[in-house]
Structure 1
Amino acid sequence: MLISLSAEEAIKALGIILLSVVASRIFIYFITNHASRLAQRTNTDFDDALIDASKTPLYYLIILIGTDYALHQITTLPSLTTGLESAIFVFEILLLAIFINRILGVTVEWYSKNIAVKTETKFDDEFLPLFKRTSAIFIYGAATVIVLDYFSYDITAIVAGLGIAGIAVALAAQDTLSNMISGFVIMADRPFRVKDIIELPSGEYGEVSEIGLRSTKILTLDALMIVIPNAKIGDSQIVNYSYPDRRMRLKIPVGVAYDSDIDFVTEILISIAKRQPHVLESPVPRVTLESFGDSSINLLLYVWIDSHKDKVQVINKINRDIDKMFKKEGVEIPFPIRTIYSRNGKSKDGGE
């Protein structure tokens, strides 16, 4: 009676296993002939890649689940079924880890090829491979812990050891982690973008060339590349000349003699500004009387330009034109004069 019962259970278990194999083949047929066709109609290849990555792990996972259920139907051979169930559980966890890792890998690869290449920064290009490797370690590590816990191994010591190792790595790589976290903050907050013109607290001025995982690169007007750790630039006060408007207002100081006609000088300065090709028509150039100096009336000429790269060129051209026009119109640019009084009561004027 025991033998016939064992045979009956074995036949039943074998039937369940065969049904699971058939179910897995039906699943693959459906995925290949229906889901793949639907995916081909979409504008993206992301769904095609997901289907290709998930077919094999899910095929074997269905068979293993069916086999595991079949073994539970056999009650007369507990030593054999227990060992097989344990082995199947290990393979199920392994296949599940492979499946999750493949899905994550396909997602990262698709993002790298379709989204990351279109962004202005290389931050995601550097971060995604690191994220992919780190995620794989975490997924397979979690699978290992689950398997060890299933076999009643004490994982407390392992988890504690991993925690201590993590703290040691974090302390050793404190600067690197700080730069990476600051890089995330820069990407999220976006105080500046690639091609923005920024000024650092130290006075360096240039165009943001690249925002990386650990550092930001700035190309100065002298064609020098400045590499700054993200942690340092994240804690600094940055002046962004390109955000929210790429236009820039220039203030050009001009000093004229006290006997000059200010209205006439203003007309000259406005006409010079309007002739410059890089000066915008709106907002219009304007002149203000800034202060009364020791030997001159100090004016400020305000002009707007459309690019920070033209700053030096515009200032140089305007100053040269001012010098020519003032000489032509007889407008005096004074130099400092100091009156010296001597002990005998006479005075003598002279330039510094």
Structure 2
Amino acid sequence: MADIIAFLSNFYRLEAGDHLLLFWLKEALIALIIFSIFWGLSLLLRTLLTRWVPRFTAFTSTDLDDRILARVTPPACLLVVLAGLYYAVKSLPFPEKAHVLSAGALFIVNVIVVTNIAWRITNELLGWYGSRLAERHGGGVDRQIIPPLEKLITIFLAGIALMVVLRHFNYDILSVVTALGIGSLAIGMAAKETLANMISGFTLMVDRPFRIGDRIQLASGQWGDVADIGLRTTKIKTVDNTLLIIPNSELCNTTIINLAFPDVRAKGRINVGISYDNDVERAKSLLVETALSVPEVLREPAPEAFFVSFGDSALNVSLFFWVSEYGSVFATTDKINEQIIARFREEGITIPYPIRTVIMEKEQ
């Protein structure tokens, strides 16, 4: 008991500076304890997200949830640490102004971390969606659609984060939104055509009327293979190796024939005229036999021949055949034409020249 009284008497003899030092040591110890508790909670959260939760996500049919979990675990744990730092700093006897500044700084950091978590989740979702698009429509589709979506979502998340921070510091968000709206309107009026092409390009990427590599025919009669689908223009490589660049807004508002859809098979047609003296049924049989003798012609659907019309000097017959790929129509047509001439000569079927009969009458 005497020792305790001696200790207390010595404690009260301490100078004011010593009391202040002990006070700060005690407050710092409390802040350190608070921070240590939240640090332990962050480690517990990391263990939970890396060891226990994956046991439940393993039962799902996709690894999307596993990838999202791996991406959000580090920033989620960081949020807990920042929360501990916030309460630790708040427990310290700082002046009011210092508390406001530290709280504001930590709030900004928290908003950045939360925005980063949202961006990571969105990035994984877009990657998963892009891989599914590539599986359905072939490679290259994800590289056309996903990057613009990522940019739009990034701008959106950054705008939301900025408005939340401004609202926290009691700034007038309405005036900022109004200014942005007026600026966007001015930009939209100045770049109306460019924006129309960009929106049309995004529509083409989502609607998918054609894909890169497809052969399309425009309403003007021009046709070629799609080389690239951009945000502003679409590039088409024609058969004479020239590049046709078309604004996307024009493609969205015109009729397009996609020769590669629903599949790459193509139908060829050969028109031929035979003499009125020839046997039509025999000519049709020869056309079908000739087409079947060419390896590039498909057996299913089988080639067909039809007597289509009476011409001025010939009976018009058409041969229809299918090839496995639209790019081989011309070469296959050339082979069939060569054999048709040879077979018709062997069978005595003539392809007449145009004939006109002029009757001259004498004047009375």
Normalised by the length of structure 1, the TM-score is 0.79
Deviations 1:130-180 (A, max 9, x none): 443443333233222222222222222211111122223333443333233
1: distance between equivalents of 2:318 and 2:176? 71
Q: CA deviation at 1:36?
A: 7.8
2: distance between equivalents of 1:79 and 1:10? 19
- Greater CA drift, 194-203 or 42-51: 42-51
What are the ranges of 5 or more consecutive residues in structure 1 without an aligned counterpart? Answer: 347-352
Q: CA deviation at 1:27?
A: 2.7
* Alignment match, 2:200: 182
The alignment status of 1:333 with 2:355, answered yes or no, reads no
Deviations 1:296-351 (A, max 9, x none): 111112222222112112222222222222223322222222222334169xxxxx
Give the match's secondary structure for 2:295: coil
The alignment status of 1:139 with 2:137, answered yes or no, reads no
Give the match's secondary structure for 1:337: coil
* Alignment match, 1:171: 189
Give the match's secondary structure for 1:338: coil
266, 273, 292: which one pairs with 1:255? 273
Give the match's secondary structure for 1:186: helix
The alignment status of 1:216 with 2:234, answered yes or no, reads yes
* Alignment match, 1:20: 38
User: Taking structure 1 as reference, are residues 79 and 314 closer, same or farther at Cα in structure 2, changes over 3 Å only?
Assistant: closer
Give the match's secondary structure for 1:334: coil
* Alignment match, 1:287: 305
For the Cα contact (< 8 Å) 2:201–2:248, is it kept in 1?
Answer: yes
Within a 5 Å distance, the mapping from 1:264-275 to structure 2 comes to: 264-275=282-293
131, 140, 160: which one pairs with 2:178? 160
Give the match's secondary structure for 1:289: strand
For the Cα contact (< 8 Å) 1:17–1:70, is it kept in 2?
Answer: yes
Within a 5 Å distance, the mapping from 1:48-87 to structure 2 comes to: 50=68, 53-68=71-86, 81-87=99-105
What are the ranges of 5 or more consecutive residues in structure 2 without an aligned counterpart? Answer: 1-18
Q: CA deviation at 1:255?
A: 0.8
For the Cα contact (< 8 Å) 1:121–1:194, is it kept in 2?
Answer: no
2: distance between equivalents of 1:54 and 1:123? 27
Q: CA deviation at 1:107?
A: 5.2
Deviations 1:190-210 (A, max 9, x none): 322333332111222233333
Q: CA deviation at 1:78?
A: 5.3
RMSD between aligned alpha carbons?
3.8
Give the match's secondary structure for 1:339: coil
For the Cα contact (< 8 Å) 1:121–1:211, is it kept in 2?
Answer: no
* Alignment match, 2:14: none
- Greater CA drift, 180-189 or 79-88: 79-88
User: Taking structure 1 as reference, are residues 196 and 274 closer, same or farther at Cα in structure 2, changes over 3 Å only?
Assistant: same
User: Taking structure 1 as reference, are residues 328 and 43 closer, same or farther at Cα in structure 2, changes over 3 Å only?
Assistant: same
Give aligned-pair identity as a percent: 34
* Alignment match, 2:12: none
* Alignment match, 2:219: 201
The alignment status of 1:313 with 2:318, answered yes or no, reads no
* Alignment match, 2:117: 99
2: distance between equivalents of 1:335 and 1:136? 70
Q: For this pair of structures, how many residues does the alignment match?
A: 342
User: Taking structure 1 as reference, are residues 206 and 68 closer, same or farther at Cα in structure 2, changes over 3 Å only?
Assistant: same
- Greater CA drift, 179-188 or 310-319: 179-188
2: distance between equivalents of 1:195 and 1:331? 42
* Alignment match, 1:350: none
* Alignment match, 1:349: none
1: distance between equivalents of 2:263 and 2:71? 45
Structure ID, larger Rg = 2
2: distance between equivalents of 1:305 and 1:116? 28
2: distance between equivalents of 1:291 and 1:108? 56
2: distance between equivalents of 1:136 and 1:246? 38
Q: CA deviation at 1:86?
A: 3.4
Deviations 1:60-79 (A, max 9, x none): 32133345456777999755
Counterpart amino acid of residue 285 in structure 2: E
* Alignment match, 2:315: 297
User: Taking structure 1 as reference, are residues 37 and 266 closer, same or farther at Cα in structure 2, changes over 3 Å only?
Assistant: closer
229, 234, 238: which one pairs with 2:247? 229
- Greater CA drift, 87-96 or 31-40: 31-40
Normalised by the length of structure 2, the TM-score is 0.76
1: distance between equivalents of 2:213 and 2:250? 20
1: distance between equivalents of 2:300 and 2:141? 37
Counterpart amino acid of residue 306 in structure 1: S
Counterpart amino acid of residue 337 in structure 2: N
